[in-house]
C-alpha cells in the first residue's frame, strides 16, 4: 500500500504540473480566458459557437435578398441616369434654339433697312428635278413669288410658289438658279449658278483682270433688282483660270448647311439698285 500511495502522489503531482504548464501556455497565448469561460460555463460557450454558425447561415440565406435590393438600386440609378440624359438633351436643344434665334437677331441687326418675316422649315422637296424646301408661311402672310429667302448665315434662295399658308423656296443650289454676285476682296462680279445635288455653286463670267483668291466671300451684288446687295452666299474654294479663255470661273461653297435649316428669313421689302436710268439712250 505504501508503494501504491507513493505512485498516486507522483501521478497527482505530475498532473498538477501538467495542468499548471498548460494554463501557463494558454495564458501566454491569450487563450486562457476562453478556456476558463468554457470551464466556468460550458453552456455559454456552446451557445456562442452555435450563434456564430447561425449568423453565418443567416447571412447566406439573406444573400438573395441583398442581391434583389442591389438590383433594385441599380434599376433606380439607371432610371435616374436616363432622366438626367433626357434633361441634358433638352438643355442642349434649348441652347441650340437660343443660338439660332440669336443668329437671326444678329442678322436682322446687320441690315435694318430690310423688312423681314420669319418662317419655319416644314419640309424638304424630295423631287430630284428641283432643289427646294417648304416653309409654313404663304400668300395669306403677304409672301409673293420671287421674294429672297435667307438663313442666319446667308442667302438660301427665293420663293418659287405660294399657297395660302405655305410656300416653296427654290434653293440657290438648284440648276435653274442664277444670282448676280460679287467677290468681297477683288470686287469682281459674275453670275452664281447652282449645280444641283452636291451643294457647291459655280460663279461664271468673272473678268480675267481680277485676281480671284481662294477664301474670298461671295455676296449678292444687287444687280438686276431681284436680291438686296451684300447678302452673303458662300466662300470661294477653287479658281479655274486660264489665259486662253475670256473669263475665269470660281467654285463656291454655300455658307448655309441646307440639311439643318429650321428657321428662315423672307425679305419682304427692300430697295433695289435703280438702273432705270440706263433703259433709254442719253440725249446728245
Residue 145 pLDDT > 90: yes
Q: Between these two residues, 245 and 112, which has the higher pLDDT value?
A: 245
By the 8 A CB rule, do 243 and 208 touch? Answer: yes
Residue 170 pLDDT > 70: yes
281 secondary structure, DSSP code: P
Range of the domain at 165: 116-270
Residue 191, domain member (yes or no): yes
Residue 26, domain member (yes or no): no
- In the prediction, which pLDDT does 169 show? 96
Cell of 183: 467677290
Give the pLDDT band (50/70/90) at residue 182: very high
- In the prediction, which pLDDT does 266 show? 95
C-alpha distance from residue 164 to each of 123, 137, 142, 155, 171 (Å): 16, 8, 9, 24, 21
Mean pLDDT of the 188-200 span: 87
Reduced to 3 states (helix: H, G, I; strand: E, B; else coil), residue 284 is: coil
By the 8 A CB rule, do 265 and 117 touch? Answer: yes
Residue 195, domain member (yes or no): yes
Residue 242, domain member (yes or no): yes
- In the prediction, which pLDDT does 249 show? 95
Residue 207, domain member (yes or no): yes
C-alpha distance from residue 31 to each of 22, 25, 39, 40, 207 (Å): 11, 8, 12, 14, 108
pTM for the model stands at 0.61
**How far is Cα 42 from Cα 208, in angstroms, rounded to an integer?**
114
Give the pLDDT band (50/70/90) at residue 191: very high
**How far is Cα 230 from Cα 227, in angstroms, rounded to an integer?**
9
Other CB atoms within a 10 A radius of the CB of residue 196 amount to 16
Q: Which residues contact 38 (CB under 8 A, 6 or more apart)?
A: 45
**Could you report the per-residue pLDDT of 115-134, keeping only the tens digit for each?**
889 999 999 876 777 899 99
Cell 440725249 belongs to residue: 283
- In the prediction, which pLDDT does 220 show? 95
Mean pLDDT of the 172-199 span: 91
As beta bridge partners, residue 244 has none
Helix (H), strand (E) counts: the chain: 3, 12
Secondary structure in 3-state letters for 1-47: CHHHHHHHHHHHHHHHHHHHHHHHHHHHHCCHHHHHHHHHCHHHHHH
CATH of the domain at 240: 2.40.10.350
Residue 110, domain member (yes or no): no
As beta bridge partners, residue 120 has 263
Q: Between these two residues, 270 and 256, which has the higher pLDDT value?
A: 256
- In the prediction, which pLDDT does 183 show? 95
**How far is Cα 174 from Cα 196, in angstroms, rounded to an integer?**
5
Other CB atoms within a 10 A radius of the CB of residue 191 amount to 16
Give the pLDDT band (50/70/90) at residue 9: low
Residue 168 pLDDT > 90: yes
Residue 78, domain member (yes or no): no
Residue 39, domain member (yes or no): no
**How far is Cα 264 from Cα 111, in angstroms, rounded to an integer?**
15
Specify the number of domains making up the chain: 1
Other CB atoms within a 10 A radius of the CB of residue 229 amount to 17
C-alpha distance from residue 94 to each of 44, 63, 89, 91, 103 (Å): 70, 46, 8, 5, 14
Q: Between these two residues, 107 and 118, which has the higher pLDDT value?
A: 118
Amino acid at each position: 500500500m505504501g508503494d501504491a500511495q507513493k505512485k498516486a502522489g507522483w501521478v497527482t503531482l505530475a498532473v498538477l504540473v501538467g495542468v499548471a504548464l498548460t494554463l501557463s501556455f494558454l495564458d501566454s497565448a491569450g487563450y486562457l480566458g476562453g478556456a476558463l469561460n468554457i470551464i466556468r460555463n460550458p453552456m455559454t460557450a456552446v451557445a456562442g459557437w452555435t450563434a456564430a454558425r447561425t449568423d453565418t447561415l443567416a447571412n447566406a440565406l439573406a444573400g438573395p435578398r441583398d442581391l434583389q435590393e442591389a438590383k433594385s438600386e441599380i434599376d433606380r440609378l439607371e432610371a435616374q441616369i436616363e432622366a438626367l440624359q433626357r434633361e441634358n438633351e433638352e438643355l442642349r436643344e434649348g441652347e441650340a434654339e437660343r443660338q439660332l434665334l440669336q443668329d437671326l437677331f444678329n442678322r436682322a441687326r446687320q441690315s435694318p433697312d430690310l423688312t423681314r418675316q420669319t418662317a419655319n422649315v416644314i419640309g424638304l422637296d424630295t423631287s430630284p428635278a428641283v432643289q427646294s424646301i417648304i416653309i409654313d408661311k404663304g400668300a395669306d402672310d403677304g409672301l409673293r413669288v420671287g421674294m429672297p429667302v435667307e438663313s442666319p448665315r446667308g442667302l438660301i434662295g427665293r420663293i418659287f410658289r405660294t399657297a395660302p399658308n405655305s410656300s416653296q423656296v427654290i434653293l440657290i443650289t438648284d440648276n435653274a438658279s442664277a444670282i448676280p454676285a460679287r467677290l468681297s476682296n477683288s470686287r469682281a462680279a459674275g453670275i452664281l449658278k447652282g449645280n444641283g445635288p452636291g451643294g457647291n455653286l459655280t460663279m461664271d463670267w468673272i473678268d480675267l483682270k481680277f485676281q480671284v483668291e481662294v477664301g474670298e466671300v461671295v455676296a449678292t451684288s444687287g444687280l438686276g433688282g431681284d436680291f438686296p446687295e451684300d447678302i452673303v452666299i458662300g466662300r470661294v474654294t477653287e479658281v479655274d483660270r486660264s489665259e486662253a479663255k475670256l473669263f475665269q470661273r470660281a467654285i463656291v461653297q454655300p455658307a448655309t448647311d441646307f440639311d439643318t435649316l429650321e428657321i428662315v428669313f423672307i425679305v419682304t421689302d427692300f430697295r433695289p439698285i435703280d438702273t432705270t436710268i440706263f433703259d433709254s439712250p442719253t440725249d446728245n
